[in-house]
């Protein structure tokens, strides 16, 4: 079964998404990761992380850390359970794979075009620093203390879902670049902080900017629910 999984549904060069099991992440902030299958055997994958030459060392992997590994295959989603085995190099890890392949129909998350307040910081090849900054930000934003006035937001046209965002930014920007986002939904609540990964870029119409699609890697579950409620409510308003 596992050999069939590797050969038919997860192939060398294929992009996968690593989703940690929350019970194996000490602080609950491990967050998603992208990876690319480098090679594999009958019960393991060797995965390359795209966030720089020492990204495997910068992520809080530990023995017996469990993940769901998923990807698109033959027009469907494919997922399998894996357990972290070891770091092979600065950007490569080995995952032990369980024989529990599942095929599933991916459900598109509701997306809306809207205008929100946005601040973002780019960080290339600095996974650890960006994760630490995200953790500090969410701690401040979710503390019981009164927040200071936050400035520097720009009104921005975006395409938004609870899983990611698309907007125009100034180059350079490339897939796997990390961005720290502050999203002001203008709902009188604290901004949402999300650590995001650029998935794709396209030149904007005027050629002066890039349209970038990002997925959220680190996002508090409460903030994910806020985004889901926001997109659902505003999506209904747009259809009326």
pLDDT tens column, 44-99: 999 999 999 999 999 989 888 999 999 986 668 899 999 999 999 999 999 999 98
Say if residues 109 and 58 touch (Cβ distance below 8 Å): no
Whole-number Å distance between alpha carbons of 12 and 134: 32
Q: Which of 84, 73, 230 is nearest to 162 (CA)?
A: 230
Residue 86: how many CB atoms within 10 A of its CB? 12
Nearest 5°: the CA angle 49, 219, 60 is 40
Per-residue DSSP letter, 146: P
CATH number for 2-104 (one of 3.40.50.620, 1.10.3720.10, 3.40.50.10860, 2.30.110.10): it is 2.30.110.10
pLDDT higher than 90, residue 143: no
Q: Which of 72, 231, 78, 97 is nearest to 164 (CA)?
A: 231
In the chain, which segments carry CATH 2.40.10.220?
A: 112-239
In the chain, which segments carry CATH 2.30.110.10?
A: 2-104
pTM here is 0.88
Question: Could you tell me the pLDDT band of residue 106, with boundaries at 50, 70 and 90?
Answer: confident
* Choice between 3 and 105, residue whose per-residue pLDDT is larger: 105
pLDDT tens column, 120-134: 998 865 899 999 999
**H-only helix segments in 38-166:** 55-58, 127-141
Q: Which CATH class is domain 112-239?
A: mainly beta
φ and ψ of 232, to 5 deg: -65, -45
Alpha carbons within 13 A on the beta-carbon side of 46: 11
H-run or E-run covering 63: none
Whole-number Å distance between alpha carbons of 119 and 89: 34
Q: What pLDDT, on a 0 to 100 scale, did the predictor assign at position 1?
A: 46
Length of the chain: 240
Whole-number Å distance between alpha carbons of 91 and 119: 29
Give the tokens for residue 238.
Answer: 């747009």
């Amino acid at each position: 079964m596992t050999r069939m999984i590797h050969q038919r549904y997860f192939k060398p060069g294929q992009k996968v998404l690593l989703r940690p099991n929350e019970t194996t992440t000490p602080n609950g902030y491990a967050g998603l990761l992208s990876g690319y299958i480098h090679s594999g055997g009958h019960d393991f994958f060797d995965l390359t992380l795209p966030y720089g030459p020492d990204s495997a060392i910068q992520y809080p992997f530990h023995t017996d850390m469990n993940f769901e590994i998923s990807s698109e295959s033959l027009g469907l989603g494919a997922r399998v359970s894996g357990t972290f085995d070891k770091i092979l190099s600065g950007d490569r890890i080995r995952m032990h794979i369980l024989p529990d392949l599942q095929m599933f129909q991916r459900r598109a998350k509701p997306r809306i075009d809207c205008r929100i307040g946005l601040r973002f910081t780019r960080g290339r090849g600095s996974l650890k620093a960006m994760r630490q900054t995200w953790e500090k930000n969410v701690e401040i934003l979710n503390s019981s203390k009164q927040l200071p006035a936050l400035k520097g937001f720009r009104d921005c046209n975006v395409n938004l879902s609870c899983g990611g965002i698309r907007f125009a930014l100034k180059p350079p920007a490339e897939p796997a670049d990390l961005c720290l986002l502050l999203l002001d939904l203008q709902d009188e609540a604290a901004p949402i902080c999300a650590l995001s990964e650029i998935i794709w870029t396209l030149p904007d119409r005027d050629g002066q900017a890039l349209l970038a699609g990002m997925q959220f890697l680190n996002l508090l579950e409460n903030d994910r629910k806020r985004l889901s409620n926001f997109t659902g409510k505003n999506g209904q308003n747009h259809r009326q």
